[in-house]
Structure 1
Amino acid sequence: MISQMKKLYDKYQELIAYAFWGVATTIVNVAVFAALHLCTSWNYIINASIAWFLSVLFSYLTNKAYVFHSPSKSLRSDFIEMVSFFGGRIATLLLEFVMLWIGITLMHQNQILVKILENLVVIAINYFWSKLLVFNHKKQAK
């Protein structure tokens, strides 16, 4: 039983780490948003933007170190990797807005249900973007 669980863990270690750090990223996002809301009189869009930026930076650092184990080769390569990571997150943020607009405004569906479904799509795209394009060791070795 324990050896079977270890095999499963070994097989899905990357996905487990991605899920764990994804939850931590969500906590960072909500905590920063809440702290800014409570401590400033700024507009919620500003608070959300700062929270998004800091949580994506946190996500980049944790994905690099603990999910995809991407070594730092140079400041330049790390910068390119980070720009690619942020670029993917910006693209999926825009996709999120479009999916919410279609689901809520055009289709008149339940906002929470649309948000949950949209999040599942965005999480999957972010994972594959990171795995295949940002932290792809084979691509970087060439």
Structure 2
Amino acid sequence: MSIAVRRMSRELILYIFFGVLTTVVNFITYFLILKISKNYVFATTIAFIIAIIFAYITNKKYVFEKKTSSLKNLLKEFIKFLTSRAFTYFVDVLGMIFLIKYLSQGEISSKIIVNITVIILNYLFSKLYIFKAEK
């Protein structure tokens, strides 16, 4: 197996691993905040923010191993990350509406299809746009 294939396999495994951890962070944060605030919208928002920050840090440091040279570049990178995640959030919502309302698909099968699409898009945005290797 070539070095490039091994590196990509390692990267995908780490991406999936930290994706699962991000989901765990989201759920734990949601339930902790919900217990304190009793407001599911507030709890969802805080959990989403914490999960995004966790995902950014773990993707940057462990998955794509990207070093950033300045605070300006770090902020640009983080904004790219937030923007891409906001885009895939809309893909998620619009995909669910399209599949359920217009194609009469079930909610669970629609969520599975849309989530697979979102995971692939998030990986591609991270790999090719946010944390791309510099030349």
TM-score when normalising by structure 2: 0.91
Question: Offset of 1:47 from its aligned partner?
Answer: 1.7
Give runs of aligned pairs for residues 113-124 of structure 1, distance below 5 A: 113-124=109-120
How many residues end up aligned between the 2 structures? 134
Q: CA RMSD, aligned part only?
A: 1.9
Question: Offset of 1:63 from its aligned partner?
Answer: 0.3
CA–CA separation in structure 2 for the residues paired with 1:128 and 1:82: 16
Residue among 62, 65, 68 paired with 2:64: 68
Structure 2 residue identity aligned to 1:13:
R
Alignment partner, residue 129 of structure 1:
125
CA–CA separation in structure 2 for the residues paired with 1:60 and 1:49: 17
CA–CA separation in structure 2 for the residues paired with 1:11 and 1:94: 28
Alignment partner, residue 35 of structure 1:
32
Residues 132 and 10 of structure 1: is their aligned pair in 2 closer, same or farther, counting only changes over 3 Å? Answer: closer
Gaps in structure 2 of 5+ consecutive residues: none
Residue among 90, 98, 101 paired with 1:94: 90
Q: Aligned residues: percent identity?
A: 32
Question: Offset of 1:95 from its aligned partner?
Answer: 0.8
The structure that has the greater radius of gyration is 1
TM-score when normalising by structure 1: 0.87
Does the residue aligned with 1:136 lie in a helix, a strand or coil?
coil
CA–CA separation in structure 1 for the residues paired with 2:8 and 2:75: 30
